[in-house]
Amino acid sequence: MSEDLNKLALKYALINAFQYGGTPNSKAVTGKIMAELPEVRKQAKDVILAVEEAINQISKMSNKDIENKLKEIYPEYFVEKPKEKEAPKVLPPLEGAEIGKVVTRLPPEPNGYPHIGHGMSFYFNYYYAKKYDGKVILRFDDTNPKKEKLEYYDAIKQDLKWLKITWDEECNMSDDMELYYKYALDLIDMGKAYVCNCDAEYVSKLRYESKDCPCVSNSVQDNLSLWKEMETAEEGKYSLRLKGDMASKNTVMRDPTMLRVVDHPHPIQGDKYRIWPVYDFACAIEDSVLGVTHVLRSNEFALRIELQDYIRGLLNLRNPKIIEYSRFTVKGAPTSKRLIRPLIEEHVVSGWDDPRLVTIRGLKRRGITPEAIHMVAEEIGLSKSEPEIDWSLIESLNRKVIDSTSDRYYFVPDPKSLEVIDASYQTIQLKRHPDFDRGFRDVHITDKFYISGNDFVSITKGQILRLKDLFNIIIIDTSTNLIKAMHTDEKTSKDELSKIKKIQWVSDKNVKVSVIVPGILYEGENINPNSLTTINGYGEEGIANLKEGDIVQFERFGFVRVDKIDPSGVTVILTHK
Ligand SMILES: [Zn+2]
């Protein structure tokens, strides 16, 4: 035992001396021993003696001796430990979930294109349905005819497919109008709903004052005949209101409207119906009758849970389990349809797929991948704090996805001419990827090259440079707009080589490339006037053979997604560095 103790004392004393220099700290060394050999805690005196002995021994040693001794008795210390891999974030288990019995829903309203916030909600609901071997229902929440358009149903499905989110069933709320009417009549029969014909302003004033309107005392018979009248009444004249609680602190509970007249054709139902349910009424019913077990949604609906549960309670419908998380925003980017729509209507952005937007289409066009969006969802999780994420998070997750699969190409912004007077015409092969076996690309070389404007202005006569992956040159003339150079084999020892500046180039077999650079749309409250800029340059010839949607890396520039290819050149969007 004491031999073990002495060895251990020497090991930790050496480590302490090696790490911090000087005399080892006896307390720290003692602590390490106790942690490794808990059974010696009872023999504190022996431990202290062993530590003193070790420190004494070390005090006579030089730093080099300390290192050598440590290497001798504990060589493992010098073996580089592999960095601990950061465990990928995993979403927590779902409360009350049973394998095979989980039913979730994706509830888009077809009134616009989904954005990243919808993407998160879709992903969470999809994720848990899959995790528990359950079912996910795509349900269009389409009971607001004035806002909804046919084009959005399809667009949303396309975006879901692109997001790699699948569903097992599909339905529209608007297909269940007769069901809503049946439940509305049930509420009237129970005396739990009444038809109100007060004007809207008066109703909201009474709500504010927690006072009933006279219609609350209509008899069931009155309400049934008024309900009949509603079918042909003009918009705004009548509404069916729930008898809630006018004194409730939750204003949503103060006799809210359940159904009202909307005089507007519906994108699917046309003119078939005029009385439309509000979202809370239709949603309360659908979540139950569709057998939804779990609803994952952002907490902007928090006040409505009480109302929806109350409606279900009256109608004897089962409550799903509701799991709320905070709405999240992306810094500098509008993250709601309410904010995005006016930007499109006022032509501040070019459309729903503008690469500055965090719409699913905008993200796609910029080169953000569905996998990265899944990772954002897992990274943020079901957070209760109000997360405002930075673009850099999306970028770093996306980089993990695309780095290994993006071919490399040369691109020079603001190109300037360089002639290498003794260069021979040849075809060289460059690796498509520096670290992965993705094959080679052909590049045709003549004596004419282009380099970036930045490199051009910094070049001096007599300077030796390396054209990246090609050869070394010495600059012989900088007096005109055409820099002249020639080959050189000077200074090519390995050590010297590493000091030579490498510059990016393209040959005169090239293609015009415009890089659209999306920036932050908002600076505080204001639109950033420079949120979209363009960088023009030349890219190597192979870029012309790419297809729209390809994501590649322009070396030393950044990842880009091909947006458009036409005879005049290639337009790409900068995804991120
Ligand atoms: Zn009234």
For residue 200, the CA-to-ligand 1 centroid distance in Å is 9
For residue 104, the CA-to-ligand 1 centroid distance in Å is 37
Cα(114)–Cα(382) distance, integer angstroms: 19
For residue 216, the CA-to-ligand 1 centroid distance in Å is 7
For residue 231, the CA-to-ligand 1 centroid distance in Å is 18
For residue 230, the CA-to-ligand 1 centroid distance in Å is 14
For residue 94, the CA-to-ligand 1 centroid distance in Å is 43
For residue 261, the CA-to-ligand 1 centroid distance in Å is 15
Cα(284)–Cα(252) distance, integer angstroms: 14
Contact 575, 366 (CB under 8 A): yes
For residue 109, the CA-to-ligand 1 centroid distance in Å is 30
Look up residue 227 and give its DSSP letter: H
Please provide the average confidence, as pLDDT, over all residues in the chain.
93
Look up residue 244 and give its DSSP letter: -
Look up residue 509 and give its DSSP letter: S
Give the pLDDT confidence score for residue 84 in this predicted structure. 56
Cα(70)–Cα(21) distance, integer angstroms: 13
At position 213, the amino acid (one-letter code) is: C
Q: What are the structure tokens assigned to 99, written together?
A: 């394998």
For residue 196, the CA-to-ligand 1 centroid distance in Å is 4
For residue 281, the CA-to-ligand 1 centroid distance in Å is 19
| 123: CB partners within 8 A, 6+ apart | 163, 165, 373, 374, 377
CB atoms within 10 A of CB 533: 11
For residue 227, the CA-to-ligand 1 centroid distance in Å is 13
Conformational region of residue 420, where left means phi above 0, alpha means psi within -120 to 50, and beta covers everything else:
beta
Give the pLDDT confidence score for residue 116 in this predicted structure. 95
Q: What are the structure tokens assigned to 411, written together?
A: 């691109």
Give the pLDDT confidence score for residue 388 in this predicted structure. 86
Conformational region of residue 534, where left means phi above 0, alpha means psi within -120 to 50, and beta covers everything else:
beta
Look up residue 410 and give its DSSP letter: -
Q: What is the pLDDT of residues 19-59, one digit of tens each?
A: 877 788 888 888 888 888 888 878 888 888 899 999 988 88
For residue 252, the CA-to-ligand 1 centroid distance in Å is 17
For residue 272, the CA-to-ligand 1 centroid distance in Å is 27
For residue 263, the CA-to-ligand 1 centroid distance in Å is 21
Q: Match 């667009």 to its residue by tokens.
A: 155
Give the chain's residues under pLDDT 50: none
At position 79, the amino acid (one-letter code) is: V
For residue 223, the CA-to-ligand 1 centroid distance in Å is 11
For residue 98, the CA-to-ligand 1 centroid distance in Å is 46
Strands (E), 3-110: 103-106
For residue 214, the CA-to-ligand 1 centroid distance in Å is 6
Cα(108)–Cα(158) distance, integer angstroms: 13
**Strands 415-420, 482-487: parallel, antiparallel or unpaired by DSSP?**
parallel
Give the pLDDT confidence score for residue 337 in this predicted structure. 86
**Strands 482-487, 472-477: parallel, antiparallel or unpaired by DSSP?**
antiparallel
From the number of C-beta atoms within 10 Å of its C-beta (0-12, 13-18, 19+), residue 448 rates as middle
For residue 12, the CA-to-ligand 1 centroid distance in Å is 83
Helix (H, G, I), strand (E, B) or coil at 255: coil
Cα(first)–Cα(last) distance of the chain, in Å? Answer: 59
Could you tell me which residues are beta bridge partners of residue 257? 241
For residue 415, the CA-to-ligand 1 centroid distance in Å is 73
For residue 243, the CA-to-ligand 1 centroid distance in Å is 12
